Each structure stands twice: as C-alpha cells, then as structure tokens.
Structure 1
Amino acid sequence: MHGQSSHLSRQIVLGLETSCDETAAAVVVLEAGRARVLSSVVASQIEAHAPYGGVVPEIAARAHVEVIDGLVQEALRQADLGFSDLTGVAATAGPGLIGGVMVGLLTGKAIALACGLPLVGVNHLEGHALSPRLEADVPFPYLLLLVSGGHCQLLRVSGLGACERLGSTIDDAVGEAFDKTAKVLGLGYPGGPAVERAARTGDATRFALPRPLKGRPGCDFSFAGLKTAVAREAASLVPLQATDVADLCASFQAAVGDVLEDRTRHAMESMAVPAGEAGRLVVAGGVAANLVLRGRLQGLCDDLGWTFFAPSLAYCGDNAAMIALAGAERLVQGMVDDLDVLARPRWPLDDVAAQAAPVYKTGRKGAKA
C-alpha cells in the first residue's frame, strides 16, 4: 500500500541494505534525473561466515543488528548531512534472508517515523536493476541480465516496477555455482572472486565441461549440471594439484561465459528495438564484477550493435546506494509506502510471470523467482 506522495524534484535519500551478509548505508541525491552518491558504506561479514563456507542466516541477522546504527551515522557523516536534510528513507524490504531484511526495514521505519520522512520499501532486485543509473544515463527500456549468488534472470525493464521476465535459472543461480565450485576446490568463501583469481593462470580448454541449455530455444539457464561436472572432475584428480585447480576454474568460467552469452543473445534477438536505435543491455549483480564475464557480454553487445552498461565494481555487490537510488526514483513518482510495509523473503520482479509460470514451486512464502 502506498501512503502520502512525495513529488519533490530533488530527493536526498538515505538507503539501507541488509538482505544477506552485507550491512550497508548510503546517501544519494537525485536531481533532474541524475544521481550523485554522497556516501556509501558497507560492512562485510565475510570473516564471520568463512568457517562455514557460506552465509549462516542467524549469524547474519545478529551482525546487522550490531552495526547498522553506526553505519547510518557514518553515511550521514561522510555526506556531511543530518537527518533533517533528508527527503526520504529507502530500505530493502525483500527478497532475502528474512532476519536480515527485518533489521534494515525496521531501522528505516524508525527513522522515517521519528523524522517525519516518507519511506520506500525497495525490492533488492530492482536496486540491482537500477544500479548502473547511479553513474550513467541509462534510459528505459533495457534488457537486464541479473547475475548474483541467489538470482540469474533475464528481464525487459520498461520502468519502475515494470519488469517482464524473459528467462530464469531452472535450478541454481550462477553465483551459487561459483561458490560451490570454490568450496569443492578448497578455495574458500566468497567463491566468485576466488574462482576468478585461480582461473587467470588456468587452461580453459583442459576440461570438456557441459554448457547446459546452450543452443536451446528460450532464455532460461541451468547450472546444476555444470557444478556437478566440476565436482566429478575434481574427485577424479584427488589429490588436486595447483594446476588442476587453476585449469578447473578456467574451464568452469569459460563454460559459464558460453552459457551467459548464448542465453543473453537469445533474449537480445527476441526484443524489438526501434529502427535507428541501439538496444541496451544492463548486467548487474555480484557476478557482474567478474571481468572475464563482463568482457564476454561487452563483446556480444559489440557484435550486435547494442550498448553495454554495468555498474562499477563497487556497486555490483550488495550496497545501499542502489537502494537509495531506487527509493529516490520512486519518491519522484510519488510512490511512498506506509509504515506497515512487510519484509518479504521472496519478491519477484515480474510477479505476474512468477505466479503464472513459476520456475520453482511457490510454497507458503510466495513465488521465488
């Protein structure tokens, strides 16, 4: 439900992000359609989760509680602003680990109530979808490839809250496949950067790994078989040598690149681009920080005459600047949430497609993708 409108052309928004294992706060100014990041502070929980090889929800939620107040103060200090200078508060309301989402959203509600500010409960995925607009003019519509630890989707983004799902993973997200590959190979957590580093010295042609769904009709993804193939190759080579690990990482990364390029090409070819205009591809999410994969997708855009956009590395992973921007853009349109807005563990960008043709069974918590 939306409350009182806020149509100020200049928005100064405090953003809060707590959907997974990063606690983040940021202040963003949006004026005349252009964004300016005044501050962006992120507290990582990598050390807390590293012994477990992945994120432990209870540990994550408690860590958010411990640091979020200090991060809000630091974000305001770096922006040289006080609460009275803000025009709104935006907080991730889902999807994510529900304990963490509740910490950020309740903090946002408290600030909004105490300061008399409008509140926006932001879809974390929409934050990623808009993230390149922090630094560049990226007009709607555009094709979005959202690649992260929990999501791998292709969507047509026509505006705020207007996303059409073209394809999604039918099993594992690509970031999850990176993390599991790193765990199998003993590279630690987080897995994505570790696999990318190891792949730099590896032979990408040594292992004939599968390219799931490559060449098939449609725009869906699958990474479970690729992840399993890596595990089988690793098991056949025990004890693994450093060259084995590097070659497996390079071969895995090359396979992922082939799949992402093939599926994205299908989506690009399915989108109607007006004559005389170039299509726009936005790649966002944590896996968008992988420079090899960025290069593959940039090359695809060059081949098809499209324009490529991706956030800088600082805004690929979870951050609050993208949440503040999403909130600011919604405030300009008068899209304000009441203080009873709910935290949601699941929140698809294309809710219609998620309900009509779910990739996963919906379950009690709603559609997942």
Structure 2
Amino acid sequence: MTQIILGIETSCDDTSVALLKKTSAKLDVLSHLKFGQEESLAKWGGVVPEIAARNHLEKMTPLLEACFEQSNIKPNDLDAIAVTTVPGLLGPLLTGVNAAKSLALLIKKPIIPVNHLYAHLEAIHMSEEVSYPYLGLLISGGHSVFFWVESSREFKVLGSTIDDAAGEAFDKGGKLLGLGYPAGHLVDAKAKRGDRNKFDFPIGLKASADSRLSYSGLKTSLRVFLEKNPSFLQDQNSQEFFDLCASYQSAISKALLLKTKYAFKQVENLGFNSKTTDLVIGGGVACNSMIREDFKNKYPQTKIVKPEFCTDNGAMIAHLGLLNIDHAHQYPECLAIDARGRFIQKVQNG
C-alpha cells in the first residue's frame, strides 16, 4: 500500500514542509524544503515570536506550492497532513496548524498532530535500523531530555535540564564570546582547531547521580573567565580563542556523557540491558561534531539522526505522521485541533 504524507513544521523560526511517500518496500522523501530566518536572528540576537510568525505566514504558501510542484504530487493525492502542534512558540505553531487546517478543509483529508520532540528522535528510522525500546537523548536549542521510548507514541521522560538546554548553552556562550546567533556551529568550527583540555569548566549537577542536566553554571563560569581574561576576545582567530571554544564545548559534551551513564542506570532499573539497548540522539545540537564523536566512542550502541534531519524540519514531521497515521484526526473533526506551547516542565526528578 502506498501512503503520501505532507509534513509541516513551524515550531520556532524555521518554516519547513516535506512530502514523504511510503510503500511496503521503502520510504522516499519526494520533496523537503525549508526557509530559515538567519538575518532576523542575527539582527535581534534570537527569535522574536511575532516576527517569526509573520515570516512563517509569508513563506508558507510559496513553500507548499514549490513542494507539490517539485514532487509532481497534487494536494488531493495526500493521505493525510502531519503538522507540529506541540511544543514551541505559540504564534509560529498556530501558523503551521492553521495552514494544515486550511488545506484539510480544501481537500477533506485527515490531520495528524505531531509532537516535534518525538519526531526529532523517531527520525532515526529514516536512516538506521533501531528497535524499541530505546534510550533517546534529545538535545536542541530549547530542550535537553532523556526519553525511554517504547513505540512511536510512547515516550517516558527520564530526566531533563533544570535550567538551560544544551543549545542555549551554545548560544549564550557564543554571545559572550562575541560570535553570531545561533552560535552552535560557530563554536564547533572554532573548537575543531583548539585543545579541549586547555581550560577547565564545570559540569552542572555532577554529583547528583541522576539524569538531570544543568548548564546555567557553565555559562556563568565562561562569563567570569572572560571578565578575568578580556584579552581572549581580541582575536577570534587566535589559538587561545580556539582552545577556549574547544574547552567550553567539551564541558557541554562531558555533561551529556555523564548524565547518559545515569540514564542507562535507569534503563537497567526498568529491567533492560544497558549494553544492548540502543541510544538514539536527535535534535539540532546532535549536529555538533565533538558530541557525535564523543558518543560514538563512549557508547558503541549510539545511533545519531542524520544532520539534515536534526534541526527542525518538515521531513521528520511527515515521517512521524506516517508512523502514527492510524491515529489521524479524521475530517472534519481535524479542524478542531489546536497548538500547545509547553510539553514538560524543565524541572524533572531523575
């Protein structure tokens, strides 16, 4: 049986749409388009929800038209529309949800609401063979969460950050270092030329023996270091600047590695073998080269989502929609779906 799904993702600043086709034999990405807001992010030093929502509204129709044209698919060929409904910025989310509902109204097809945090991890199935259950680590700009994943609809939170996410640690650290926004890829590029062991930065909640994360202290430590050593900011192409970036990035990675150890202990308490349970890593920060290498070296069972599906994207939304198509909201009831900004509280007991 052939199924064709449209995916729409507008949870933050990226507008992305994709068309996926699934047959009994394979999964094809027919079209995958994205509009970023890099100029706006650089200008304002971050995401401004109202501006992001207006940009989504402006770009949605042209992206959808190009997506259908590129794939030679007509809207009526769709089996369903998958759209991010949670979590994210409410204005941007509503833009995507309203686009999905408008299209559903025109073609009278069902909608599949998607939690884009789940989609980040489940995107692993687009390139890797992974069995349930698995330990999932989602690391992005707004979330850092350990999940116990038993199916495409069953996600249990094992632990999360109590303050900043890993992506926030990169962006806020990048701002202190005088780099642009978003800063993750910029820090990574500098760090490749530096010594990760040159400077010592703290690991939040190091002694807690659970899978909770904390990055606010790391950012403060970098700020104090730069106040004492302002000369480091004078030349972003100096060896000491490269070493500083590498050391700061290393602290982010070390925290994730340490807390993964405790997450695996939770897996063992659930009655599973931590040595044979897959570890799946997804989210925008999973693009980081040092983190990818560190986890592959430390945990051989690590499976990392392909970089093109790590950041917010319509393909992962369409993919999770395909996995959950049996739970689609049928027309016309689907026109009543809504968006929700929050998913979990940041504070989680391990």
Q: Is the 8 A contact 2:41 2:182 kept in 1?
A: no
> Which residue is 2:244 aligned to?
248
Alignment gaps of 5+ in structure 1 = 1-8, 349-353, 361-369
Q: What are the within-5 Å matches in structure 2 for residues 105-254 of structure 1?
A: 105-239=97-231, 240=233, 241-242=235-236, 243=238, 244-254=240-250
Q: Is the 8 A contact 1:92 1:101 kept in 2?
A: yes
What amino acid sits opposite 2:105 in the alignment? L
CA distance in 2 between partners of 1:135 and 1:74 (Å): 25
Cα offset for 1:277? 8.1
CA distance in 2 between partners of 1:262 and 1:276 (Å): 15
Deviates more, 1:167-176 or 1:231-240: 231-240
CA distance in 2 between partners of 1:247 and 1:171 (Å): 26
Matching residue within 338, 344, 347 for 1:359 = 347
The runs of 4+ residues in structure 1 deviating greater than 6 Å are: none
Change (3 A) 1:209 1:275: closer
Deviates more, 1:93-102 or 1:335-344: 335-344
Q: Deviations over 1:303-350 (max 9, x none)?
A: xxxx2211211111010000001111111x3342622111111124xx
> Which residue is 1:345 aligned to?
341
Is 1:321 aligned to 2:315, yes or no? yes
CA distance in 1 between partners of 2:119 and 2:307 (Å): 15
CA distance in 2 between partners of 1:202 and 1:69 (Å): 44
| Residue aligned with 2:299, SS | helix
Q: Deviations over 1:128-186 (max 9, x none)?
A: 12111122232221110000000001010111221111110011000001000111111
| Sequence identity (%) | 37
Query: What is the CA RMSD across the aligned residues, in angstroms?
Result: 1.8
What amino acid sits opposite 2:144 in the alignment? C
Cα offset for 1:275? 6.6
Q: Is the 8 A contact 2:123 2:305 kept in 1?
A: yes
Change (3 A) 1:37 1:200: same
Cα offset for 1:34? 4.8
Q: Deviations over 1:28-81 (max 9, x none)?
A: 123348532111101110111201211111111111011011111111122221
| Residue aligned with 2:263, SS | helix
Q: Deviations over 1:105-136 (max 9, x none)?
A: 10001111110111011111111121111222
TM-score (norm 1): 0.87
* Count of aligned positions: 339
Is 1:296 aligned to 2:288, yes or no? no
Is 1:86 aligned to 2:81, yes or no? no
CA distance in 2 between partners of 1:314 and 1:224 (Å): 29
CA distance in 1 between partners of 2:208 and 2:116 (Å): 30
Matching residue within 259, 282, 285 for 1:284 = 282
> Which residue is 2:30 aligned to?
38
Q: Is the 8 A contact 1:230 1:248 kept in 2?
A: no
> Which residue is 1:3 aligned to?
none
Cα offset for 1:276? 11
TM-score (norm 2): 0.92
> Which residue is 1:363 aligned to?
none
